[in-house]
A and B are shown apart, each in its own frame.
Chain A
Amino acid sequence: MDALDLARWQFGVTTVYHFLFVPLTIGLGIFVAGLQTAWHRTGKEHYLKLTKFFGKLFLINFAMGVVTGIVQEFQFGMNWSEYSIFVGDVFGAPLAMEALLAFFMESTFLGLWIFGWDKLPKKVHLACIWAAAIGSNLSAYFILAANAWMKHPVGYEVVDGKARMTDLWAVLTNSTALAQVPHVIGAAFVVAGGFVLAVSGYWLLKTRAEMWRSAARAALVMTAIAGAVVAGTGDMSAKLMYEQQPMKLASAEGLERDTAGAAFSIAPGIEIPNVLSFLATNDFNATVQGTEDLQRRFEQQFGPGDYRPDQTIVFWSFRVMIVFGLATVGLSVLGLWLTRRKRGFPRWLSRAFLLALPLPSAAVIAGWLLSEIGRQPWTVAGELLTASSVSPGVTLAEVATSLTIFTALYGVLAVAEAVLLTRHVRKGVEEPEPVTEKTERLEPSLMY
């Protein structure tokens, strides 16, 4: 165990943890904005109640996404200084843009939304939640553009041992990013839809209120549409992976040798002939490269070393992602069918909705494990090895300290967040406060 291993563990732990909260921020923000718009349009009070109810859950979760995100931005410099120096010229740009173009918008307008209920005109207040939610989605785009560059670097040249950006547009329109952005944002909407579904399911088991049926229906629609986007862009990603990251594709399929008409492996030993070739290329007879043959070619190209990622994790995370993701989307399609034309929600269905809370999150985490462990041993594919990315001056003791602190703190906060969310879900919607007469006029603070 050396500093490199711990730095990798720290990155894994803090990033997976961060991404437990992010999808909910991305998807639920838009959902709350949609609820508030519905209230605005129809004037129906139950939309206002739902806006406030899900708004509160959104904020509890939002806090965690923000504070765990700060760690991410510092972590590159702290643990991965060699990586930062190599990539900063290219990778730093989307990060700076994320802060300037997305985070300012998200945080400022969210502050206005939280505290502006009785201070802003209704339309302006509604615009604030939309601006905040769009800011969250925009931030996802920039960070995914940065992430995609690690797997498929474009728009750069290497000068004096450092990447130099030559084309920002190429970085921002990286094909890998363009497939990954809708895939991840779609998945975020599935997670958020699943969350709303689970909460609504819980309440539908207790009451027959129309409010929860309308929340559940909206969530079903959102989950089903987002699920279709995720599946479609997942297919796009697979085809790009065939061209750009053949080792990841081969590892995900456990394909050892270059194979024409390669079979798709469902589990070890259960295979569907020719389907992998078709998924990767739209041609049933195309040749898909295998891990062992790739390893041999990479050794010729890059010198001795093991260029295969952890086969077990990559293979199984791929399957967990697909199965759990499809299960969630299947549940939403089933729900839509059973409740078509305002049919009621059977109790067993409401109970099944509770599964929509853990399933998509598990799929998302598995997807990230596939994506990032599948990238190993590189931090920047073909350019920089993970082993050469770590901070040379940082000691094992230092990384051990920060890893311990963050893990312990995150553990405590996870429990607190779970308790807090559960309590507010159980409490249910609150009656909107009666509109009170404005009290005495306050003097503005800027009086000299």
Chain B
Amino acid sequence: MIDLWFVIIAFLWTGYFVLEGFDFGVGLLAPLVSRSSAEQRQSLQTIGPVWDGNEVWLITAVGAMFAAFPAWYAGLFSAFYLQVTLILVGLIVRGVGLEWRGKVDDPRWCDLGIMVGSGLPAFLWGAVFADLLFDSAPAAVLGGMFTLAVCALHGAVFLALKTTGPVRRRARATVLAAGAVVIPVAVFALSNLGTLPALAAMAALAAATALIWRRREGWAFGATAAAIVLTTLAVFMELRQQPLPGLTLAEAASGAYTLTMLSWIGLIALPFVLVYQGWTYWVFRKRVQVAPI
């Protein structure tokens, strides 16, 4: 039961990083690939209907940690206090930026908030998990750079996949440029983990860049998503023995009764969530155009 809940939590974090990863990337790159306010709107509209639902993966992952492994939850967030504070600041300014930008006269403040608020958590999540694994400041910085770069790449691929016209063209160019940065960082960062999923993640990132070169945007998105899945898998494989220094999963876990109850609830609810979230992506499957003015 403890192992099952560890897998569920790893799954929820993976879902979060895959989904919010491209939200962060789009938020970061929107000003770069857009030359007008109409194009900026077009870029952000690719994530408009889905980003809030994607963020709930984080809320659920953290809620599940609280319920299933209270000591892990408490230890992690009190240990990385300032990082988590800044992540929250990022999520706050990004959230209000995205919701308010269509309702203000001059959306430049919102765009700034979206960019900073996407970049901060994209960097800091990597820094937190790298610090957790390697307990060193250089590793944390490297981990942060890695997740920031991967989110940017993932977001650029998503933009290329979901837009038309000049934004799509620039997004593709961004992917190729970003690939040149991401791959060396990835090789450097992931070789520290050295396990099979980590190595496979490197290959997936290289494949994504190549696939954009060949204009296979759907496949490229699959490849960046796979890279994130594999990286998260590699991280959680490491955490399995020791989720926090000096703490084992068994020590951190809630009782069997709670875990059983939560399992039933998850088993019943999660399929519905996956279906209706999947449906959202289906409803908004079309590419986003520049809105005619």
Chain A contact residues, CB within 8 Å of chain B? 56, 59-60, 62-64, 66-68, 70-71, 73-74, 76-82, 84-85, 87-93, 95-101, 103-105, 107-112, 114-116, 119-120, 159, 162, 164-166, 168, 391, 393-394, 398, 401-402, 405-406, 409, 413, 416, 420, 424, 439, 442-448
User: Is B192 interfacial (CB 8 A cutoff)?
Assistant: no
Contacts of A115 in B (CB 8 A): 45, 48-49, 284
CB atoms of A393 and B78 under 8 A apart: yes
Q: Which of B70, B71, B103 has the most CB of A within 10 A?
A: B70
**Beyond A67-B91, A108-B52, 20 extra complex contacts between A and B, CB < 8 Å:** A59-B99, A68-B92, A71-B92, A74-B84, A77-B74, A79-B78, A92-B66, A99-B63, A100-B265, A110-B52, A112-B49, A112-B280, A116-B283, A119-B284, A120-B283, A168-B257, A168-B258, A405-B85, A406-B88, A424-B103
CB atoms of A111 and B52 under 8 A apart: yes
For A92, give its contact among B48, B63, B95, B286 (CB under 8 Å): B63
CB atoms of B265 and A97 under 8 A apart: yes
User: Is B141 interfacial (CB 8 A cutoff)?
Assistant: no
Contacts of B91 in A (CB 8 A): 67, 70
User: Closest CB of chain A to B154's CB: distance in Å?
Assistant: 15
User: Is B273 interfacial (CB 8 A cutoff)?
Assistant: yes
CB atoms of A391 and B257 under 8 A apart: no
CB atoms of B257 and A111 under 8 A apart: no
CB atoms of B59 and A103 under 8 A apart: yes
Q: Which 4 A-B pairs have the closest CB atoms?
A: A88-B70, A92-B67, A77-B77, A63-B99
CB atoms of B66 and A96 under 8 A apart: yes
Contacts of B60 in A (CB 8 A): 96, 99-100, 103-104
Q: Which of B68, B81, B162, B219 has the most CB of A within 10 A?
A: B81
CA gap between A101 and B269 in the complex, in Å: 7
Contacts of A76 in B (CB 8 A): 66, 74
**Provided the pairs A60-B99, A99-B56 are in contact, do residues A77 and B78 lie with their beta carbons within 8 angstroms?**
yes
CB atoms of A444 and B287 under 8 A apart: yes
CA gap between A444 and B164 in the complex, in Å: 11
Contacts of A95 in B (CB 8 A): 63, 66-67
CB atoms of A84 and B74 under 8 A apart: yes
CB atoms of B262 and A96 under 8 A apart: yes
**Provided the pairs A78-B78, A111-B49 are in contact, do residues A63 and B219 lie with their beta carbons within 8 angstroms?**
no
CB atoms of A448 and B67 under 8 A apart: no
**Provided the pairs A405-B89, A409-B89 are in contact, do residues A108 and B280 lie with their beta carbons within 8 angstroms?**
yes
**Hey, what's the 0/1 contact readout for B52-85 against A, CB within 8 Å counting as 1?**
1101101110111011111101111111011011
Contacts of B216 in A (CB 8 A): 448
**Hey, what's the 0/1 contact readout for B261-293 against A, CB within 8 Å counting as 1?**
110011001100100110010011111010010
CB atoms of A420 and B103 under 8 A apart: yes
Contacts of A394 in B (CB 8 A): 78, 81
User: Is B104 interfacial (CB 8 A cutoff)?
Assistant: yes
CA gap between A159 and B218 in the complex, in Å: 52
Contacts of A78 in B (CB 8 A): 77-78, 81, 84-85
Contacts of A103 in B (CB 8 A): 56, 59-60
Contacts of B277 in A (CB 8 A): 104, 108
User: Closest CB of chain B to A182's CB: distance in Å?
Assistant: 23
**Provided the pairs A93-B261, A111-B52, A446-B218 are in contact, do residues A88 and B81 lie with their beta carbons within 8 angstroms?**
no
**Provided the pairs A99-B63, A100-B60 are in contact, do residues A442 and B289 lie with their beta carbons within 8 angstroms?**
yes
CA gap between A199 and B108 in the complex, in Å: 28
**Provided the pairs A104-B273, A111-B48, A442-B287 are in contact, do residues A74 and B257 lie with their beta carbons within 8 angstroms?**
no
**Provided the pairs A99-B59, A391-B74, A405-B85 are in contact, do residues A108 and B276 lie with their beta carbons within 8 angstroms?**
yes
Q: Which of B50, B60, B164, B277 has the most CB of A within 10 A?
A: B60
**Provided the pairs A73-B62, A103-B59, A116-B283 are in contact, do residues A89 and B52 lie with their beta carbons within 8 angstroms?**
no
Show 16 residue pairs from A and B whose CB-CB distance is below 8 angstroms, ordered by the A residue.
A67-B91, A77-B76, A79-B78, A92-B73, A104-B277, A107-B53, A108-B56, A111-B48, A111-B50, A159-B255, A165-B258, A166-B257, A413-B92, A424-B103, A444-B286, A445-B162
CB atoms of B100 and A63 under 8 A apart: yes
Contacts of B76 in A (CB 8 A): 77
CB atoms of B70 and A401 under 8 A apart: no
User: Closest CB of chain A to B289's CB: distance in Å?
Assistant: 7
For B73, give its contact among A79, A88, A105, A401 (CB under 8 Å): A88
CB atoms of A96 and B64 under 8 A apart: yes
User: Closest CB of chain B to A107's CB: distance in Å?
Assistant: 4
CA gap between A394 and B276 in the complex, in Å: 40
User: Closest CB of chain A to B68's CB: distance in Å?
Assistant: 7
